[in-house]
Chains A and B, each alone.
Chain A
Amino acid sequence: MKTGIISYGYYVPQYRIRVADIASVWGKNTLEIERGLGVKEKAVSTAAEDSLTMAYESSSMAMKGQTQPIGALFFGTESPVYAVNPSSTILGELLDIGNNYLAYDTQFACKAATGALISAIALVESKQIKSGLVVASDKAASRPHDALEYTAASGSVSVIVGEKNPILTIEGWESFSSDTPDFWRREGIKYPSHGGRFTGKPSYFKHIAGSVKTVLSKLRYKPTDFTYAVFHMPNGKFPVQVAAQLGFSTEQIKKSLVVSELGNSYTASALMGLVATLEYVKPGEKILFASYGSGAGSDAFVFTATQLIEKKRLMFSKKMSEKKYIDYPTYLKCMRII
């Protein structure tokens, strides 16, 4: 039996705010920003939502029909509801998975969940647990008037790793880590800080190249072996550029580029691109998946879809079209800024 993803779930809040409606408040040129960032609008969660409530939404979807006991629950976020107190156990309690599980919360900027995914895979593969639930969830905060305001969004994705009846098998993984301070937030400080253009070449591009090139060489794959590729999406430009640099075509990444409509849901960003792709992938097709977390690191995975994907894929694009636009004051109310 091969270890893989046996189930998944996602949650995107219904509210959207257009880049245009943010730019007009600050007297900025909408077209310039849309073109520069490759983003038109982003998803906004309400004032009644946080990373935990969204995690409940995506994980309860993933848990539907699951019978395998959950032996581990890992919660990756960079907007935890407590500075000290596990969200993983609150979620575990709400999902009624009993008490015999390992729980921990992780933080590593936008790759908090994919790092935990690797741990879950290892525990399942070594037969120490039957299945593991990995949750990514963020209600990303950004300082008003900062560039991040156009992209920082909300969302959650949950995946269950197991051996029985996977819909995606995991061929292998690689992680590339270094100390690169491109984006950080100190204790007690409300909004993150970033290094501007330093977040590009020495950060995002270097680490994704690092993990992807290694996993391809280790498993002896070329970019053309893959039907799809998914890269972390801090904006609409970076994933397109890194794909080209690594030899992937725009066709391969097209389905995953949800950022232009949803914004960047941080830990859920790349995983949301994977969810979008799973709506289309056919049995036997391969997906190259690479996350990026500032600070910095990248986790790359090679997935192969199984026959079961036909029955178990989730609708996504239709759900994305069920949205309601809000104005800037409502956005501030949702983000608890007013």
Chain B
Amino acid sequence: MISPVKVWRRQKTIRDLLGKEGVIITWTKIFTPPPQFKHIAPYVIVYVKLENGQNICAQLVDCFDSISTYEGKRVVVTLRKLRESVSDDVIPYTIACKLL
């Protein structure tokens, strides 16, 4: 059971990151996910330096597999639903990155 209060507290941080742009510093692709991420595995996680200097890590979504090196590419922060919640949980939306 994901705490609805935790989801609510996290919301402002997610909101403040949405729409921010940055550059990919490094990345990996996960093939052995934790149980709540199995349904979208394998996935790419990128380590991004945002324009304001802050670092974030997020899944890189909607990227075509043919891009073999991601470093240096520009991304924008958007919204996705990644962690699978149990059917009666509050949905934990979170950030993800898309290539610009």
Contacts and interface: CB of A to CB of B under 8 A. Distances in A.
Nearest to B11: A93
* Closest 4 A/B residue pairs (Cβ): A48-B80, A56-B79, A47-B40, A53-B79
Contact of B93 (A14, A46, A52): A52
Interface in A312-338: 324, 333, 336
A60 B61 CA distance: 17
A48 B11 contact: no
Given A50-B81, A324-B64, 9 more contacts: A14-B62, A46-B62, A47-B39, A48-B61, A48-B82, A53-B81, A56-B18, A94-B11, A94-B93
A279 to B, nearest CB: 22
Interface string B9-36: 0010011001100000000000000000
Contacts of A49: 80-81
A171 B11 CA distance: 40
A94 B15 contact: yes
Given A52-B93, A53-B81, A57-B78, A46 B40 contact: yes
A90 interface: yes
A324 B65 CA distance: 10
Contact of B14 (A13, A60, A94): A94
23 contacts: A14-B62, A46-B40, A46-B62, A47-B40, A48-B40, A48-B61, A48-B81, A52-B79, A52-B81, A52-B93, A53-B93, A56-B18, A56-B78, A56-B79, A57-B78, A60-B18, A93-B11, A94-B14, A94-B15, A94-B18, A94-B79, A94-B93, A96-B15
A26 interface: no
A336 B39 contact: yes
B96 interface: yes
A48 B96 contact: yes
Interface of B: 11, 14-15, 18-19, 39-40, 59, 61-62, 64, 78-82, 91, 93, 96
B69 to A, nearest CB: 19
Contacts of A336: 39
A53 B91 CA distance: 11
B77 to A, nearest CB: 11
A90 B11 CA distance: 9
Interface of A: 13-14, 46-50, 52-53, 56-57, 60, 81-82, 90, 93-94, 96, 324, 333, 336
A324 B15 CA distance: 29
Contacts of A52: 79, 81, 91, 93
B8 to A, nearest CB: 9
A173 B7 CA distance: 41
A93 B19 contact: no
Nearest to B61: A48
B15 A93 contact: yes
A48 B79 CA distance: 9
Contacts of B82: 48
A94 B96 CA distance: 14
Nearest to B78: A57
A49 B98 CA distance: 13
Contacts of B62: 13-14, 46
A324 B80 CA distance: 19
A23 B96 CA distance: 33
Contacts of A57: 78-79
B40 A60 contact: no
A90 B93 contact: yes
